[in-house]
Amino acid sequence: MDSRPNGSFVRCGSWLAVGLSGFAGLLTGPALAVPAAGAASSALPAPSAATALRDIRGPFEIRSLSDILRLVALVLLLVGLMALAWWLWRRRKPKTGPPHLVPPEERARERLREALAWVDQPERFCTVVSEIVRVYLEERFGLRAPERTTEEFLSELARSAALDARHKSLLAEFLTQCDLAKFAQANPGRLELESLHASGVRLVDETSPRLTEPPLLAPPPLPPPAPRT
C-alpha cells in the first residue's frame, strides 16, 4: 500500500481512467447491423393464394318474406298446372280392355272370305283354302293337320272321334280336290273352285260349337183345391 498521503486518490484516478477508456471503446466499436424496413419485408415469406387478402364483396341481398311467399306460390301453381294436365291426359286416353280372343271358327270364316280374291288362280286358291281348313281343325279339335300330308292326316282322323262319319267324308273329299290342284296340275274351273270353297265353309259351320238353349223351367205345381164344406 502506498504510504503517500495522496496515494488513495492516485489509485482511484487510475481506475476511473480504465473505466472511461472501456466505455469509449464500446462507443467506437463496430456498429450493430439494424435491418432496414424494406429488407425486413423482403425477408418475410410471400403470402400464398389462400392467405392473400381478398377484396370486399358487395352487399348481400336478403329477400323479404313477401318475396319468398310469392316464389312458393309460383312453384305451387306450376305443380298444380302439371297435375291438371296429367289428369286431363289420362281422362282422354282410351281405356284398353283385355284382348278379344277370336274363336277359331270366326277366324276361319274371315280367312275363307279373303281367299276368294285368289279364285282366278286355281293352284294358289286351293293351297290357301286347304291351309285355312287345316289350321281350323288344329285349333278347334287339336288335330295335327298343318304339318302332315293328306294321307297321314286322314289316317289319323279315321281313328279320331272328333268328327262324325259325314264330316270325315266331306273333309276327305275337300282335301283330295285341293291336292289335285296343287300337285297333279289339275285346272279346275271357277264353278268347281267356288264349290270347293263352299265345302270348306260348310265344314267350318257344321263343326263350330253351338250355344245350347237353357232348359225351360217347369211351371210350379198348382195348389191343391180347397176341400168343400
Q: Residue with C-alpha cell 278379344?
A: 100
User: Which has more pLDDT, 208 or 145?
Assistant: 208
Q: What is the pLDDT of the chain when averaged over all its residues?
A: 75
Position 9 pLDDT exceeds 90: no
DSSP-assigned states of every residue in 138-185: HHHH----TTS-HHHHHHHHHT-SSS-HHHHHHHHHHHHHHHHHHHS-
pLDDT digits (tens, 9 = 90+) for 159-181: 888 899 999 999 999 999 999 98
From 174, 185, 165, 194, select the one nearest 134 (Cα to Cα).
Answer: 174
pLDDT digits (tens, 9 = 90+) for 93-107: 555 555 568 899 999
Instruction: Supply the pTM of this predicted model.
Output: 0.50
Q: Residue with C-alpha cell 481512467?
A: 17
Angle between helices 165-183 and 150-158 (to 10 degrees): 170
How far from 180 is each of 41, 131, 173, CA to CA, in Å? 117, 15, 11
Position 217 pLDDT exceeds 80: no
pLDDT digits (tens, 9 = 90+) for 190-206: 999 999 999 999 999 99
How far from 44 is each of 19, 47, 51, 219, CA to CA, in Å? 42, 9, 14, 122
What pLDDT shows up at residue 167? 93
Position 8 pLDDT exceeds 50: no
Give the best-scoring range by mean pLDDT among 8-12, 27-31, 48-52: 48-52
